[in-house]
Structure 1
Amino acid sequence: MRILYLHQHFSTPAGATGTRSFALARALAARGHAVTLACGQYAGAVTGLAGGFRRGRREGAVGPFRVVEYAIPCGNAQGLPARAAAFLRYAARATALALAETWDVVVASSTPLTVALPALAARRLRGTPFVFEIRDPWPELPRAMGVGSPPLWAGLGALAGAACRGASAVIALSEGMARTAVAHGAAPGAVSVLPNGCDLDLFGPHVPPWRPAGLPAGTVLAVYAGAHGVANGLGQVLGAAALLQAEGAPVTLLLVGEGAEKPVLQARAAALGLRNLRFLDPLPKPRLAGLLAGSDIGLQCLAPVPEFAELTAPNKLMDYLASGLPVVANLGGATARLLAGDGEGPCGIATPPGDAVALAGALAALAADPARRVAMRAAARGLAERRWDRRLLAGRFCEVVEAAATAPALRAVAVA
């Protein structure tokens, strides 16, 4: 089959951002399908293509599949208007590609939600079936964070409804996201939950460990690796660092990544005189794997927004589990249940959202208990191997896409 995979934020493992679409496109290609992945230029991503752009586009083979990359920069450090413009520009270019060639099925991976526009156009004008993947539910999360306005949320809700109703299949990364798809009109039987998986080849105890130079001897290293934006609520980590420093706890916190809030966080850390907190620029995935192998705790942090409990599926959490790291998170809901082990033994500690005191307490407790950390390490890697192996999830993803493509032919009709 000829498959068009739309993901604006695609990256290979050489980049510093998520690689889900790389792994899934490769899995589709391994089953004999001709896969074209269309993307933009996401901050921290490495698409695998080199050379100049011609008319704002370049393309080539990246392993077993074709990549079409548009010269449309986008990243968390941009303001909302600039990001919105990038989303719409990508949707326009991807729509042209979706209509210019013949496809058996289109996979539209959101966010941004505007990736549904080319899929809907191909469905309406060419009768091409599509699979809609929800990585972050819009408008639910922007509305919960107060980003945008009621008219914008209404427009996003209408687009989400059209995508969920028009898709031959919907893939959600969590049960909470699946419920939003059904609320937007997707048939329950058409929705599959396929969470982020663990890359057990890239991350794990087989990776040579490393640590940044100059760390105090004997320190317990807790690493946060991800975006530094408003949604991440990293001010709580600074608050926890101040408490740990005042108590003399042997913990060093390392924040790895980039985002609009990073300069603010660095200035605040300097003002507080935090000697136990450091910042690093984003790292390519193989380099990050070595850092996690050399760390003691993985840190998951989000702003205290109640909707985050069930409507998020962070990549970094899967990387921590694959690396065999005990995790400290400030989330309830799905993350808290996962860290409790779901009956297989705890692999971390969940603290109340927004509670820097509890976050510091959990870090100090793990730092003081090496045996507990060892047990959680084993539980984390065990869960990664038994339940979250990305290779198993990729097989299920391929089955959903293949079933959508081979469903009874769709007529070229308007999607309500």
Structure 2
Amino acid sequence: MRIVYLHQYFTTPAQSGGTRSYEFARRLADRGHDVHVITSTRNAGDHGGQWSTRETSGFTVHARHVPYDNSMGSLQRVRAFVTFAVVSAARARSLKGEVVFATSTPLTIFLPAWFATLGRRTPIVFEVRDSWPTVPIALGYLSHPVARWLARRLEHFAYARSAKIVALSPGMREDAAEQGADPQKISVIPNAADVSMFDVPDAVGVRWRRDHGIDVDAPLIVYTGTFGAANEVEYLVDVAREAAALDARTVFALIGSGAREAAVRSRAEDYGLLGKTVRVMPPVPKAEMPAVFSAADVATSVVTNNPAMNANSANKFFDSLAAGRAIAINHEGWQADLIRSHDVGLVLERDDLRAAAHQLLGLIADRARLAQVHRRARDLARSEFDRDVLARQLAEVLENAREGRSGSVRERARIVR
């Protein structure tokens, strides 16, 4: 069947960022489906304001330039979201998909999906990557009552008109149900682990350390991703100051960019750690991530201190499992439950920075335990989050929507608890 796949911020392994849509699109194509991804490019001057079309990995990508970056203010971001919704609507409709798959964020991605199916019997499958607008409301990004009302109305409209809903975590499923989505429509398909991609020799990580001037035996904690207000990477800089006092060899490699990058650098510089204990590095393509994770003793995924963030399904969490590395987070929720129940890392103390530093360095110093944690992480990636298995679940959701079959795809009980 023809699948029209709407994702405003689609990326490939040659780019930095999550590749969920790329990996799923190519597997859907391998399954025999005709997949058309509609997306945007963010580099100035791309395509001269026109649509470009290219074939990649068995599917077709339709792209249009719409400026966007994490440093934009709220109004600029909304303008980018609305602009893409408008320009992609006609393109999506012209492709005459047998099912339209729209993945957020942003929530406005549902508008071109709806337009593409208007007056037709084409089903929409809506994927919830973040609990929008619950998260931006909780973080104060949507403070105006009218903006909140409009966002909630769009959310309810999307849930009501979707044949199926895919949520990336149990918490996102619960939030969608609380906002009126039919629980029978919702399937939980979390972010996935690319075990084969991250299964590299230890020598790859050793080489990465040497290339970046990091001692082979230095405790190395890695963060990869966005430096945004929702991530609060400054927390790791604060923990790094405590860790440096305990072991001066310790290195925190913070890899990424975003609106808070300058603040992260400034804090590290104020502590006298920038370029020493704290290394702030530019983002790297997904294809280079296996070397980064191979070099790490512990990988991290951190968020700002708000309960709304506990339902997140960050790619870096699953990349860490795929690489067989200990994962450390600073929040509660389903990922914290997984870490504790499978002993694959640490749930760091949020308010006691010295204790968090002790947790990290204590695990790294216990090489026997660390090796066991690394083994369990990779085992968990294979048993519960294998990309091929989750891609088949998504294919079943899309195929069931096309055939008009009811009910959600059954998830493993361990994931949804």
Relative to the length of structure 2, the TM-score reads 0.91
TM-superposed deviation, 1:216: 3.9
Q: Which residue of 1 aligns with 2:213?
A: 214
Q: Which residue of 1 aligns with 2:197?
A: 202
- Return the letter of the residue paired with 1:225: T
Q: Which residue of 2 aligns with 1:92?
A: 86
Greater CA deviation, 241-250 or 91-100? 241-250
Equivalent pairs, count:
398
Runs of 4+ in structure 1 deviating by more than 4 angstroms, as ranges, are none
Other structure's SS at 2:9 match = coil
Other structure's SS at 2:394 match = helix
- What 5-or-longer segments of structure 1 have no aligned partner? 44-50, 409-416
The change in CA–CA distance for 1:236 and 1:124 in structure 2 (over 3 A counts) is same
Q: Are positions 1:240 and 2:235 aligned together? A: no
TM-superposed deviation, 1:166: 0.6
Whole-Å Cα distance in 1 between the matches of residues 326 and 216 of structure 2? Answer: 21
- Return the letter of the residue paired with 1:95: A
TM-superposed deviation, 1:128: 1.9
- 149, 152, 158: which one aligns with 2:147: 152
TM-superposed deviation, 1:42: 4.8
Q: Which residue of 2 aligns with 1:287?
A: 288
**Aligned runs of 1:41-80 on 2, under 5 Å?**
41-42=41-42, 53=47, 55-80=49-74
**Aligned runs of 1:10-21 on 2, under 5 Å?**
10-21=10-21
TM-superposed deviation, 1:338: 1.2
- Return the letter of the residue paired with 2:246: E
TM-superposed deviation, 1:202: 1.5
Q: Which residue of 1 aligns with 2:3?
A: 3
Whole-Å Cα distance in 1 between the matches of residues 305 and 179 of structure 2? Answer: 25
Q: Does the 8 Å CA contact 2:195/2:378 hold for their aligned counterparts?
A: no
Q: Are positions 1:404 and 2:401 aligned together? A: yes
Q: Does the 8 Å CA contact 1:5/1:38 hold for their aligned counterparts?
A: yes
Q: Which residue of 2 aligns with 1:411?
A: none
**Aligned runs of 1:237-386 on 2, under 5 Å?**
237-248=236-247, 250-274=249-273, 275-309=276-310, 311-340=311-340, 342=341, 345-386=342-383
Whole-Å Cα distance in 2 between the matches of residues 125 and 34 of structure 1? Answer: 22
- Return the letter of the residue paired with 2:77: R
Greater CA deviation, 388-397 or 329-338? 329-338
Other structure's SS at 1:74 match = coil
**Aligned runs of 1:168-187 on 2, under 5 Å?**
168-187=163-182
Q: Which residue of 1 aligns with 2:410?
A: none
Greater CA deviation, 181-190 or 135-144? 181-190
Whole-Å Cα distance in 2 between the matches of residues 72 and 245 of structure 1? Answer: 42
- 1:248-288 per-residue CA deviation (whole Å, 9 max, x = no partner) reads 35421000001010011112211210131101100111212
The change in CA–CA distance for 1:117 and 1:52 in structure 2 (over 3 A counts) is closer
The change in CA–CA distance for 1:183 and 1:251 in structure 2 (over 3 A counts) is same
- 1:135-181 per-residue CA deviation (whole Å, 9 max, x = no partner) reads 00111100111112232122111111111111000000011111122
- 354, 377, 391: which one aligns with 1:394: 391
TM-superposed deviation, 1:77: 2.1
The change in CA–CA distance for 1:279 and 1:100 in structure 2 (over 3 A counts) is same
- 124, 131, 134: which one aligns with 2:128: 134
TM-superposed deviation, 1:193: 0.4
Whole-Å Cα distance in 2 between the matches of residues 151 and 391 of structure 1? Answer: 42
The change in CA–CA distance for 1:293 and 1:78 in structure 2 (over 3 A counts) is same
- 100, 103, 117: which one aligns with 1:106: 100
TM-superposed deviation, 1:291: 1.4
Whole-Å Cα distance in 1 between the matches of residues 73 and 50 of structure 2? Answer: 22
- 1:281-331 per-residue CA deviation (whole Å, 9 max, x = no partner) reads 00111212111112111111111111212x210000000110010111111
Whole-Å Cα distance in 1 between the matches of residues 287 and 57 of structure 2? Answer: 17
Q: Which residue of 2 aligns with 1:46?
A: none
Whole-Å Cα distance in 1 between the matches of residues 83 and 331 of structure 2? Answer: 35
TM-superposed deviation, 1:121: 1.9
Greater CA deviation, 14-23 or 366-375? 366-375
Q: Which residue of 2 aligns with 1:193?
A: 188
TM-superposed deviation, 1:386: 0.9
- Return the letter of the residue paired with 2:297: D
The change in CA–CA distance for 1:368 and 1:52 in structure 2 (over 3 A counts) is closer
Whole-Å Cα distance in 2 between the matches of residues 55 and 245 of structure 1? Answer: 49
Other structure's SS at 2:359 match = helix
Question: What percentage of aligned pairs have identical amino acids?
Answer: 35
Whole-Å Cα distance in 1 between the matches of residues 216 and 182 of structure 2? Answer: 56
Greater CA deviation, 104-113 or 199-208? 199-208
**Could you say what the CA RMSD is over the residues aligned between the two structures, in angstroms?**
1.8
Other structure's SS at 2:307 match = coil
Other structure's SS at 1:73 match = coil
Q: Does the 8 Å CA contact 1:232/1:302 hold for their aligned counterparts?
A: yes
Whole-Å Cα distance in 2 between the matches of residues 188 and 304 of structure 1? Answer: 28
- Return the letter of the residue paired with 1:270: E
Q: Which residue of 2 aligns with 1:34?
A: 34
Other structure's SS at 2:11 match = coil
Q: Which residue of 2 aligns with 1:48?
A: none
The change in CA–CA distance for 1:90 and 1:355 in structure 2 (over 3 A counts) is farther
TM-superposed deviation, 1:206: 4.2
- What 5-or-longer segments of structure 2 have no aligned partner? 406-417
TM-superposed deviation, 1:10: 0.4
Q: Are positions 1:164 and 2:159 aligned together? A: yes
- Return the letter of the residue paired with 1:27: R
Whole-Å Cα distance in 2 between the matches of residues 355 and 127 of structure 1? Answer: 55
- Return the letter of the residue paired with 2:329: A
